A and B are shown apart, each in its own frame.
Chain A
Amino acid sequence: MATLLDFRRRIRSVKNTQQITRAMKFVAAARLRRAQEAALAARPYAEELARMLRSIMSRVEEPEHPLLAKRPEQNILVIVLSGERGLAGAFNSNILRKAGDFIRKQSGKKIVAIPVGKKGRDSLKKAGFQFAAEYVNVLAKVEFSVARDIAALVTELYTKEEIDAVYIVFSEFKSVMTANLVVQKLLPVEEIREADSKGENAGDTKKDETPVDYIYEQPEEQLLGKLLPRYIETQVLRSMLESSAAEYAARMVAMDSATKNAGDVIEALTLHMNKVRQAAITKEIIEIVSGANYGA
């Protein structure tokens, strides 16, 4: 039977674990706030760029650019944004399942992957995928230079016609409790997306819709050629920021429930321990009483 000492040890160990999970929760919460701020700060550029690009695309009669060229999809590149670490609830398994589902649907086509994040890298490597590149330890603090590297790599592969389409799989941060799993087509560029569906630019919409007859300092095609790669960069950056925020949110929620569970376990153990102690005391009293009776 478990002795009092055993219980005390168990409780102490659970308490230590609880302290760790609580600390992790606070760290995740602080990082989540930072990630959200970064995502917010990146939004104006993406919005203005999308607007400028749309305006130029509508002006050029038949926009021609290697990044707009559509080909039969034979070779597909998939960028998978996963987490860097575990202990984030179902975050990693969800995104990897989504990526797996998507890849399975592309049967008969050649798949090349670019994992971003350690967890995805390990899992995809185990599954035997061919990597065009891998990026690890870049999502804890998202740097624009990394997004630029990734964008430059995929645009180069696409322009060289080594790949016919680029998809990006990531978790879109909706709220602390929910994240959308998104598969987005990055290349060829089919439509210029709004920077963010959550953007509240209702006041500006009227101004944005009016077609303006611009003077172009450089030929439209040349501007288009320079704007499109930037657009890919902002899309990659945005998905990295979203994924990073979603990871921290998932970790925060997971660690919050772990802390609560530890509290429940401590409570149950304490109750049990008290019962055992009570039983021991009762036993001793019975022994003394019956011993006294015997002696009398």
Chain B
Amino acid sequence: MLPDAIQLIIVTPVRELLRETVVEVQLPGADGYLGVLPGAAPLITELGIGELTFHSKAGGAASDPIAIIRGFAEVLPDRVTVLAETAELASEIDVARAEAALKRAQDRIASHAPELDWDRVAVALQRALIRIQVARKHRGVPVGAA
């Protein structure tokens, strides 16, 4: 018999962020978003930079997004374990800091410095963008509004 709920556990190296029983999870996989329902086949994936959302009740509204910055996820029929390098609730995000980081990353790209470490800048940029996006959704401000 298939389980009718999933236990969602989100942990980071320094804390356990969330432990909740849910019916649906959207994960930011490294190769694209994954939706997980109860009874999913066991799976291990790398996570990219993106937002994780879940539904606590069938047909209910999606939760506030959680910003996930890289890591891994293990999916079992009745359990999803997210090992994130960084995971933040929308309410925890310091938007001013994220915006400063975004500006820094953009300036660095605009500088055309030959020794620029593209990987690092790209990650910094994505990280800042997702934080801002998640925080804005939470506050009800449409994405893209300055």
Residues of A within 8 A of B (CB): 38, 41-42, 44-46, 48-49, 52, 55-56, 144, 147, 212-218, 222-223, 226-227, 230, 233-234, 237
Query: 24 A-B Cβ contacts within 8 A?
Result: A41-B16, A45-B83, A46-B13, A48-B9, A48-B11, A48-B74, A48-B83, A49-B72, A49-B83, A144-B14, A212-B76, A214-B44, A216-B45, A217-B31, A217-B45, A217-B46, A218-B31, A218-B45, A218-B46, A223-B44, A226-B46, A226-B72, A227-B72, A237-B13
- CB–CB B72/A215 < 8 A: no
- CB–CB B13/A45 < 8 A: yes
Bound: A49/B16 CA distance, A = 13
Please, what's the 1-or-0 string for B71-85, where 1 marks a CB less than 8 Å from any CB in chain A?
010101000010101
Shortest C-beta distance, B4 to chain A (Å), equals 19
Q: Indicate whether B112 reaches chain A with its CB closer than 8 angstroms.
A: no
Q: Which residues of A contact B34 (CB under 8 A)?
A: 217
Q: Which residues of B contact A42 (CB under 8 A)?
A: 13-15
Q: Indicate whether B12 reaches chain A with its CB closer than 8 angstroms.
A: yes
Q: Of the candidates A56, A212, A226, A227, which one forms a contact with B42 in the assembled complex, judged by CB atoms under 8 Å apart? A: A212
Q: Indicate whether B43 reaches chain A with its CB closer than 8 angstroms.
A: yes
Bound: A116/B146 CA distance, A = 44
Q: A212-B76, A217-B31, A218-B31 are in contact. Are A44 and B11 (CB under 8 A)?
A: yes
Q: A45-B11, A45-B13 are in contact. Are A217 and B29 (CB under 8 A)?
A: yes
Shortest C-beta distance, B141 to chain A (Å), equals 30
CB nearest neighbor in A for B74: A52
CB nearest neighbor in A for B31: A217
Q: Which residues of B contact A212 (CB under 8 A)?
A: 42, 76
Chain B: interface residue total (CB-CB under 8 A): 23
Bound: A237/B41 CA distance, A = 33
Q: Indicate whether B30 reaches chain A with its CB closer than 8 angstroms.
A: yes
Find the residue from B13, B15, B46, B81 having the highest chain A CB count within 10 A. B13
CB nearest neighbor in B for A55: B44
CB nearest neighbor in B for A59: B44
Shortest C-beta distance, A271 to chain B (Å), equals 52
Find the residue from B9, B11, B41, B43 having the highest chain A CB count within 10 A. B11
Shortest C-beta distance, B42 to chain A (Å), equals 5
Please, what's the 1-or-0 string for B1-32, where 1 marks a CB less than 8 Å from any CB in chain A?
00000000101111110000000000001110
A144-B13, A234-B13 provided; 17 other pairs, C-beta below 8 A?
A38-B14, A44-B9, A45-B16, A45-B83, A52-B44, A55-B44, A144-B14, A213-B42, A214-B44, A215-B41, A215-B43, A217-B30, A218-B31, A218-B46, A223-B72, A227-B72, A233-B13
- CB–CB B13/A214 < 8 A: no
Bound: A125/B9 CA distance, A = 45
Q: Of the candidates A147, A217, A227, which one forms a contact with B43 in the assembled complex, judged by CB atoms under 8 Å apart? A: A217
CB nearest neighbor in A for B44: A214
Shortest C-beta distance, A162 to chain B (Å), equals 22
Bound: A119/B41 CA distance, A = 52
Q: Which residues of B contact A49 (CB under 8 A)?
A: 72, 83
- CB–CB A214/B43 < 8 A: yes
- CB–CB B44/A44 < 8 A: no
Q: Which residues of B contact A223 (CB under 8 A)?
A: 44, 46, 72
Q: Which residues of A contact B9 (CB under 8 A)?
A: 44, 48
Q: A216-B44, A217-B43, A227-B72 are in contact. Are A52 and B14 (CB under 8 A)?
A: no
Bound: A146/B14 CA distance, A = 12
Shortest C-beta distance, A24 to chain B (Å), equals 27
Bound: A230/B46 CA distance, A = 12
Bound: A45/B83 CA distance, A = 6
Q: Which residues of B contact A217 (CB under 8 A)?
A: 29-31, 34, 43-46
